[in-house]
A = this chain, B = another copy of it.
Amino acid sequence: MSNGKRQLALGAMMFFPAGEHISSWRHPGSEAEGLLDFNYYKRIAQTAERGRFDMFFYADELYVWDRFESGISHANSIRPEPFTLLSALAAVTSHIGLAATISTTYNDPYHIARKLATLDHFSGGRAAWNIVTSQTDEEARNFGKERHLQHELRYERAKEFVEATQGLWDSWEEDALLFDKESGYFADKNKLHNLDYEGTHFKVKGPLNITRPPQGYPVLIQAGASEAGKEVAAATAEIVFAPGGSFSEGKALYEDIKGRLAKYGRSPDEIKILPALMPIIGATVEEAAERLAIVENLTPDRLALDLLSHYIGVDVSGYPLHEPLPFLPEEEGFNQSKSGIQRIRRILKEEDLTLIQLAKRIVNKRAFAGTPEQIADHIEEWFNHGAADGFNIAFTHLPGALDDFVAEVVPILQHRGLLRLEYEGTTLRDHFGLSKPKNRYSQDKISLGTTQR
């Protein structure tokens, strides 16, 4: 951002460890056998850093998707824990941001504030937090509850969780540590603050037992595209991870979120909107189409149908495969992803798909097949025409599809001046051009001086 030119923000997304796709592990180029080996992740993060991505973005869930047998048999159902993964990656990378998906529904602010602060210290200011509220009853049952927290309540809890966490990050003023061996003063007690947070969901005394993250707060990411999710994003998020879809859908969401910022006293450039995009690169249009076909055929019908049943909360297995679904799924009373079911309703209203076509369409919803130039054009179009500040790039398989993107698309984006040739700053906030939040307790010494005069 040093020359004032608007820079494309790029995330390298690992939705499943084997790639974007629930069936990415099955791709001929997948190296999923390595997904319990740290070297697999190290290679991927280092490649993304070589491609000058802003961040490595790691999705997460807190359960095995075993609602249907196909989930166990066919889906990529194991995944390393985010903090243990990203912290190890911090030790073997130097510039790329490290974004952890962490649920506010099944965690405590003290632990999360501390882990993110440690990750931010150890990475030299490269931590980000993708704030999610989890989605399923299965997750609830791993944490002593029968049902997942109701949609509105979990957003209320998320809001409190973030408030408490930010408060904990401010515990120590920047110059609180003295390390004065002579006098024996380790810290200036006047610069350490209790939080004494009391909300409906959390009560947290503080202070945090680690100092403020180098970035002030790690970068806050939010992906909610529901009404409640968009409000949380507008109030809190700095990066919005958007679902992608058509250009008109993307532009509408972009304008919707940016339009909500004013009421929170925020300007449009304080939030960057990154839709998901799964590029499928071919040297020619034909080759790209062939590669798309490979990806579309990875998911067994059984798994695709069960996933659709999961996303709409209705078992579709009894309906004819090659006829349209004879009903519109009900949003009312559905307690998983609101924006997900809304999207499926929209597709059903607008398009004429058979059940199996719909199911496969949902699985591959982020795909865009084309030549490197076409993919760069697509990115540039969204970026220049009010639909995106960048993209969270998804990969059909890993590490191959990332290797290809870095080799073939990144140079075009760099040549067009959209993407950095070298990192200009050291923190993730530097990469994104986001300012460092002030500590609520710090005296602004310059203004204070002025006032006293």
* Chain A residues at the B interface, C-beta cutoff of 8 Å: 23, 25-28, 30, 32-33, 36-38, 42, 61-64, 66, 69, 72-81, 83-85, 87-92, 106-108, 110-111, 114-115, 117-119, 121-123, 138, 141-144, 171-172, 177, 179, 181, 184-187, 189, 192, 194, 202-211, 300, 303
Given contacts A192-B72, A210-B79, contact A122 B38 (CB under 8 A): yes
Closest to A119 in B: B84
| Pair A186/B75 contact, Cβ less than 8 Å | yes
Interface centre among A63, A117, A122, A138 (most CB of B within 10 A): A122
* Contact indicator A90/B187 (Cβ below 8 Å): no
Instruction: Identify A74's interface contact among B37, B77, B143, B185, CB under 8 A.
Output: B185
User: How many chain copies does the complex carry?
Assistant: 2
The one of B66, B84, B194, B210 in contact with A118, judged by C-beta atoms closer than 8 angstroms, is B84
| Contacting residues, chain B, for A81 (C-beta < 8 A) | 111, 114-115, 117-118, 210
* Separation of A99 and B425 alpha carbons in the complex (Å): 35
- Closest B residue to A196 by beta carbon equals B141
**A87 adjacent to B83 (CB under 8 Å):** yes
CB distance from A186 to the nearest CB of B (A): 6
| Beyond A63-B209, A85-B118, 9 additional pairs, beta carbon < 8 A | A23-B184, A26-B186, A61-B209, A64-B206, A72-B189, A73-B187, A83-B83, A89-B91, A110-B143
Most buried by B among A36, A121, A206: A36
Contacts of A119 in B (CB 8 A): 84
- Per the bound structure, the CA–CA distance linking A107 and B111 in Å amounts to 9
The 6 closest A-B pairs by CB, nearest first: A141-B205, A84-B118, A38-B122, A91-B91, A84-B87, A88-B91
A202 contact set on B, CB distance < 8 A: 144
Complex Cα distance A118/B33, Å?
Answer: 15
Instruction: Report yes or no: B187 in contact with A72, Cβ–Cβ below 8 A.
Output: yes
A207, B122: Cβ atoms closer than 8 Å = no
B186 and A73 contacting across the interface, CB-CB below 8 Å: yes
- Minimum CB–CB distance from A106 to chain B (whole Å) comes to 7
Contacts of A64 in B (CB 8 A): 171, 192, 206-209
Complex partner residue of A62 from B36, B110, B143, B303, CB under 8 angstroms: B110
Shortest Cβ distance from A82 into chain B, in angstroms?
Answer: 9
Cβ of B77 and Cβ of A142 under 8 Å apart?
A: no
- A185 and B88 contacting across the interface, CB-CB below 8 Å: no
Q: Are B84 and A181 in contact (CB under 8 A)?
A: no
- Are B209 and A30 interface neighbours, CB within 8 A? no
Are A38 and B91 in contact (CB-based, < 8 A)?
Answer: yes
Q: A88-B87, A209-B61 are in contact. Are A74 and B38 (CB under 8 A)?
A: no
The complex places the Cα of A18 from the Cα of B95 at a distance, in Å, of 28
